[in-house]
Amino acid sequence: MAAQINTQKKKVGQNIKVVVRVRPFNKKESRGQSRMAVNCISPTEIQTKDKKYCFDRVFQPDCNQLDIYSYIVEPMINDVFAGYNCTVFAYGPTGTGKTHTMIGGDPSSLSSLDWRRNEKAGCIPRVATNIFDEIASRKVNDYNVRVSFLELYNEEIRDLLNSDKRRPPLNIFNDDKGAVFIQNLNEKNVFNSNDIHELLKQGTLRCQTNSTHMNNHSSRSHTVFTITVHIKEADLNGEEVLKTGKINLVDLAGSENIAKSGAKDKKALELANINRSLLTLGRVIQILTEKNNRHVPYRDSKLTRILQDSLGGHTKTCLIATVSPADSSYEVTQCTLEYAMRARDIKNTPMVNEKVTQVEMFKQLTTEIEELKRKLEATQLGEGGSGGAGFFVAQQHWDEIQNQLHVNSNSLTMKNEIMDDMKKRLADLEVIQKIKTRDYEEAMKNCKNKEKIIHKATALLKEHRENLQQEKYLSKNYFQAVQDENTQAKCLLQANNTLTENYNMARFKLKTQYLNSLSNNCLIQEKCRSLQQTIVSGREQLDKMSLTSQSAVTNQMAVLEESARACHQELERCAAWKKEIEDVANNKNGVSEVIEERPSCVSEVMGLVDKGCKNKYTTRNADPLNRLRSRLRNMYHMQIQSKRQQIKLLEQEVKEMVENLEIIDRRTNNFTIEEEEDENMIKQDFISKSTVLPNTGVDLVAQTESVEENFENIKSRLTELINQKIDTETAHLNLNQTHINTMKQMIASTEKSLKMHISEQKSLLETTEKIGKDLLDEWIQAIPADDTPNKVSVNYPKQVGDGPLPRDVLIKKFQEEFDEDISNESFHLNVSTNTEEHLTPRKSNEYSETAT
Ligand SMILES: Nc1ncnc2c1ncn2[C@@H]1O[C@H](COP(=O)(O)OP(=O)(O)OP(=O)(O)O)[C@@H](O)[C@H]1O
């Protein structure tokens, strides 16, 4: 049994691949001087005189076997190992190279064939070697490769790997998922490519032998060479799964028209039957490419039944249309190209075959065993006819059942052993599961703790980030402050420079002032000296003047004495003049008259006379010399007095000048002291400032430099610290991130394993449920060895009679109902509780409810 279960994982429709291979002219065509009827205009286009066709690839007559293999089959090897089913059809008229493409050169030399070097080798020998190469390169240890080779001729399946004439008939079955399997078809285990080559050789020879018995048989039969690969690999969870993929290589019968063969009557019917498969194939292709969802008549031919999954199913399919280039074959070539064009529209939904895990296998086996046991018991009870649910079976059939039971019993024993082993493994698995559950719970706990830690760490991280921001801000401020300080230091330096300049200027000014005052002092001193000299010279002059005045006095005395004498003489003259006046007074008449005439003049003259008289009297009494002397003395005294006065004034002036000089001197001294004091004060101030500020410009520069250096150091240290902090924080962050990621991964993997566990449990449940049904079917199928396409079941009422209904009655009933003779066939007996339906034979699938 080769049941393949397909899953419904992906449903992406993809068109089947269709290529055309044009063979070279054969001898006959060359001799007949045929002309080319087709032209390969590009790698994907072929042109006939009527039409241009586009395919996935067009292989020209000069292409070689390896080109075909590399493009079509080689990529399928990976698919087979991935668990896909793949099919390659060769379709075309007789003699166009289908067998050449599939098998290639002389099959008798196949076993020693190295397909890479042998140019004649077709796809089958190449794929055989390729599969084992792939197994070796993938280092697959646990694998199983099986080969089957069948021929379909006149709607009859022949096993080309089984020459036994007593071989059981080959029946085609569909399981409930639509997968097709051929009962009793030999599937040979192969262990290397040579094994496959050998089987291919044997099968091909057997096919050819058949061909010699039947005229031109080979071109009218279809052959299907299947290689099935089972590999055991660990899946992503480390669990071992069994993957199954296969490749079907189908060499179809020649597609030429029946009419063309010229056969008539029985032969024509036979040919019609032979071509039934091809016709059905054409119909199936036609319907599959329509959009009206018509019923696809797969069941109308065995070929379409066998290849059902390859056409509109889940297989990856490629059709190779082989054509002749000759114009003599133009018509069939055109038909073939049209046929191939239609096939291009078929959409398949390739799917990976279900991978079966060991646990599932175990569950399947367990359920199968249980079911078998139950069936066995039921059968044993029914055997004696006392079980109430008995049924009648022919003796021969009964023997077969007994044999089957014996085989099944052995199988049961074996399966029991396997079951025990499996039970042990299950127990182990349960322990592991418990441990894993505990681990999982612990992991969950850890996860929760870690989550808390992560939350804390996140909060801490946030805090760190904030701190960092703050530190950054502070650093920025500090940086600014340092820059400000630097600017201030520069300002101070500038101020200091200005101060130094001012100080130097003030110093220079003071010096200039001092020097000026010094020179002023000298000038004053000079002036004082000149004053003193003036005074001395003044005194000397005074002394000289005194001497001069004394002599002048003497001279004046002399002058005065002279004048006294003159005076004396005057006086004498005055006396004389008085006498004369008296003489005149004596002459009174004349004078009286005058007096009378001019009294005022007389009084005036009398005043003058009186005055003269008085003067005369005084002068008469005083010494005129003495008077003169005293007058001169007075004059002298007065002059002396004025000179003294002058000297006093000069002395006063000199004194004042000396005093002024002293004041100036003092002032000068004071000024010098003040200046010194000022200088000292400035110095003191400068020194005091210098203690606060840098001592000197050099110090200040040095200090500024050191400040700058410090600033640079602080800056670099700060940068370093910030970088360190950032590095630490980043490392911290990364660590936390890694931690979080690890935790997430752990959570994810735990979740995944949990989900898987749940899905496993579910699938186990489902499988357990289904397995009972499957085994029941299988059990039923195993007993009657039915070779008809539809199972025949005969309903048997529970309440009827004392014994089983005779077989011939049942056969008759069936004949009446279906107009079909089942006397040579084995059939099921079902017990019905429905009395109304009793004795009514039905197809089993129509009244499954009545089955117990
Ligand atoms: N591409 C090709 N290159 C060289 N020879 C070819 C090519 N195709 C076919 N031939 C030769 O043509 C002959 C007929 O080929 P083949 O038997 O493969 O045709 P077929 O389509 O399988 O015919 P049938 O339907 O009768 O089985 C063979 O001798 C084969 O070697």
The binding site for ATP comprises 92-99
> Closest ligand 1 atom to the C-alpha of 218?
27
Average pLDDT, integer, range 482-497: 81
Burial of 545 (0-12, 13-18, 19+ CB in 10 A): middle
Q: Interface pTM (ipTM) of the complex?
A: 0.98
Instruction: Kindly tell me if the per-residue pLDDT of 693 is higher than 50.
Output: no
Q: Which of 364, 237, 244, 352 is nearest to 766 (CA)?
A: 364
- The reply to whether ligand 1 has any atom less than 6 angstroms from the CB of 95 is yes
Alpha-carbon gap, residue 645 to 548, rounded angstroms: 17
Residue-level pLDDT at 470 = 84
Letter string b/e over residues 608-646, b meaning 16 or more CB atoms within 10 A of that residue's CB: ebeebeeebeeeeeeebbeebbeebeeebeeebeeeeee
Alpha-carbon gap, residue 729 to 735, rounded angstroms: 10
Question: Tens of pLDDT along 171-203?
Answer: 888 766 667 888 888 899 999 988 998 999 889
- The reply to whether ligand 1 has any atom less than 6 angstroms from the CB of 217 is no
Structure tokens at 621: 């009494």
Residues 46, 39 contacting (CB under 8 angstroms): yes
Residue-level pLDDT at 390 = 47
H helices then E strands: how many in the chain? 17, 20
Instruction: Kindly tell me if the per-residue pLDDT of 463 is higher than 70.
Output: yes
- The reply to whether ligand 1 has any atom less than 6 angstroms from the CB of 254 is yes
Distance from Cα 264 to the centre of ligand 1, integer Å? 27
Letter string b/e over residues 695-728, b meaning 16 or more CB atoms within 10 A of that residue's CB: eeeeebeebbeebeeebeeeeeebeeeeeebeee
> Closest ligand 1 atom to the C-alpha of 26?
12
Structure tokens at 525: 């001193």
Our CA angle for 364, 367, 372, nearest 5°, is 120
- The reply to whether ligand 1 has any atom less than 6 angstroms from the CB of 96 is yes
Alpha-carbon gap, residue 367 to 772, rounded angstroms: 7
Question: Tens of pLDDT along 808-831?
Answer: 776 776 677 667 776 776 555 554
Alpha-carbon gap, residue 404 to 71, rounded angstroms: 48
Tell if the pTM clears 0.90, that is, is over it: no
- The reply to whether ligand 1 has any atom less than 6 angstroms from the CB of 203 is no
Query: pLDDT category, 679, cuts 50, 70, 90?
Result: low
For residue 152, give the H/E element and its range: strand 143-153
Residue-level pLDDT at 739 = 77
Alpha-carbon gap, residue 701 to 689, rounded angstroms: 16
Query: pLDDT category, 619, cuts 50, 70, 90?
Result: very low
The identity of residue 535, as a single letter, is I
Our CA angle for 211, 217, 221, nearest 5°, is 115
> Closest ligand 1 atom to the C-alpha of 322?
21
Question: Tens of pLDDT along 139-168?
Answer: 888 888 999 999 998 888 999 998 887 778
Alpha-carbon gap, residue 147 to 159, rounded angstroms: 11
Query: pLDDT category, 562, cuts 50, 70, 90?
Result: confident
Q: Which of 724, 718, 723 is nearest to 478 (CA)?
A: 718
- The reply to whether ligand 1 has any atom less than 6 angstroms from the CB of 218 is yes
Distance from Cα 26 to the centre of ligand 1, integer Å? 9
- Tokens 């056409």 belong to which residue? 311
Structure tokens at 735: 């660590």
Distance from Cα 815 to the centre of ligand 1, integer Å? 48
